Structure 1
């Protein structure tokens, strides 16, 4: 008589469940007690949250009676919009709610030393509510992918001082609707020119306000093979000659190469144009 799925030991179940997505593993954990622990552990390894309320509930769940759940976390992506601390009344209930949510996030991350992938929208805003978030992230040594939106003074301090050696680094600008509220370029929101992260193989430097020019990026990330960049973040004026020999693939806006050229040949070049410009071209093509 063939063995049933439920008769398998935990080691075999863990191997089988490892092929499931996080969502499928979560659904499987609801079916029977025999696989709940194994499937729930898999479901908590890769988490994506898309609203502030979901972040708050998730942190409360992870920090509940079974706090060992946090140790299972390997990938955390938070894609939600929150208001800046300077845009809300510091004594209002909204500011208090955001501050408590940020504090819960900090506490949860303190218990997730094995986190490998971390993505945070409105990162600077979260760090304004809880500056301790910067210190916690700096001490995480297992991060292999870091995705930060809005590189302000606090986020720049994290990048400048992190102990991890990520292979993938994404530095994104605020959403278009939030850019008016975001201050213009300031000295303390820039990355440190002395920063060196040779571990980075993929770099997306699309925050055109707070990131340095391509000449500094080449020095900071000397081993980058794939680069995604916008022309606004590149030094203007006379073309700058770069020595970035590791570059193999570059994705940039059409004007990007008017300001710099690389000494070594690039194997693949992709020119990207904003949607508003493409919409202007369409009538001309007809």
Structure 2
């Protein structure tokens, strides 16, 4: 396993419960949008959630399809997800451990594949997307939700993200994510939604359990950025702490 994937496992073993409890992950409105989109699919019987984490997307899928497989690299996240499913009485989700770049499933098995707020950890995202396409039935859909970065802030935001969480690999621009999906072989790729999620910087660091010295370096990087870049990334409410503007997109890719 390469160094980036070892960092992912270490990070989510270390901070897994924080991601289970994070409002952005557990209650994001995009969970409803994913369910709405799946409702438009013809007979969505079997779904795969890649990098399922604490299982939030798998649980949303479980209300729309017959069966879901929640798939993740980190055993600790799968344990957290399985326990949460048991507590919620969800019995149509199964769990599997493995690498998104090497899915242990046959071709043309799933009606829907999802990957939510995770692909920025993938060192070879295009390969993971190609694997998602491989396991989809013809006409099946992949739904990708992830952060994206304005082109003007690409290098700086990725530096800050890596300081916060060493398992971060790369957040892409809107066109960058679209290009990766097309290069993976999908016949149609559509940006369905774009939105912003401001997050208090202190809470953002706490969720990842970022050490104090790395927090300070990340904040210094933001403070020293050119003013136009700071204005793209930061909010300073009249009352309250500084917030980072996280931009998110939702893509539909059809095999």
TM, length-normalised to structure 1: 0.28
Structure with the higher fraction of residues in helix conformation = 2
Per chain length, whose mean CA-contact separation is higher, i.e. which structure has more relative contact order (CA < 8 Å, sep 6+)? 2
Quick check: which one's strand share is greater? 2
